[in-house]
């Protein structure tokens, strides 16, 4: 199971625009919207707030059955994720970094990946080991043993080439 991060779609849209790479976008539709890929409800919300023409593509193809909702198990894992980010990680993240992380879908995405033993598809990159200014999905995912892959790894795993 794959959980798609908002920035994954954003990166594809900015680096590989649909009008220049239409075959890529067609090939992405199957694994993203009908395969083993899902969107957490918080990512779905971010996608719907996104002011980009890619939103139309997303809305046209998203099936509600591929949107993951929070359950009690995920909520407990979310608490663990937030507690580690806010209080236990050394060196501690700055308060602003923690707040930004908690306000985005990122914290829920990690908890959901833990809950469903899923791989997160994101284009975020790890921060420097002692960074305190930003909480990055791959850094937190590493701590909790959640696998993260980027665009190229996802394309390879889906056997997509253009």
pLDDT in tens, 119-133: 999 999 988 878 888
108 φ/ψ angles, rounded to the nearest 5 degrees: -70, -35
Q: 123 vs 54, 77, 150, CA distance in Å?
A: 17, 23, 5
* Interval 64-113: pLDDT, tens: 999 999 999 999 999 999 999 998 888 888 999 899 998 899 999 999 99
Q: Which residues contact 4 (CB under 8 A, 6 or more apart)?
A: 32, 37, 38, 39, 43, 121
pLDDT at residue 107 in the model? 95
Query: Measured on CA atoms in the order 14, 19, 148, 59, is the torsion positive or negative?
Result: positive
pTM of the predicted model as reported, rounded to 2 decimal places: 0.93
Pair of tokens at residue 126: 């790890």
* Interval 17-29: pLDDT, tens: 989 999 999 999 8
pLDDT at residue 156 in the model? 95
Q: Which residues contact 16 (CB under 8 A, 6 or more apart)?
A: 24, 25
pLDDT score of 44 more than 90: yes
Q: Give the whole-angstrom CA distance, residue 107 versus residue 95.
A: 15
Say which range, 31-35, 117-121, 146-150, has the weakest mean pLDDT.
31-35
pLDDT at residue 99 in the model? 92
pLDDT score of 138 more than 90: yes
> Residue 38 — pLDDT band, cuts 50, 70, 90?
very high
């Amino acid at each position: 199971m794959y959980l798609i991060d908002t920035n994954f779609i954003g990166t594809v849209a900015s680096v590989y625009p649909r009008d220049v790479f239409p075959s890529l976008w067609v090939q992405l539709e199957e694994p993203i919207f009908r395969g083993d890929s899902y969107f957490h409800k918080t990512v779905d919300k971010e996608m719907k707030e996104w002011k980009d023409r890619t939103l139309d593509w997303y809305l046209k193809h998203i099936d509600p059955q591929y949107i993951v909702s929070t359950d009690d198990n995920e909520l407990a894992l979310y608490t663990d994720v937030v507690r580690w980010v806010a209080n236990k990680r050394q060196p501690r993240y700055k308060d602003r970094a923690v707040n930004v992380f908690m306000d985005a879908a990122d914290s829920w995405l990690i908890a959901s990946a833990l809950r469903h033993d899923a791989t997160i598809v994101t284009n975020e990159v790890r921060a420097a080991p002692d960074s305190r200014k930003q909480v990055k999905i791959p850094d937190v995912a590493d701590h909790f043993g959640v696998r993260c892959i980027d665009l190229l790894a996802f394309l390879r795993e889906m056997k997509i080439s253009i």
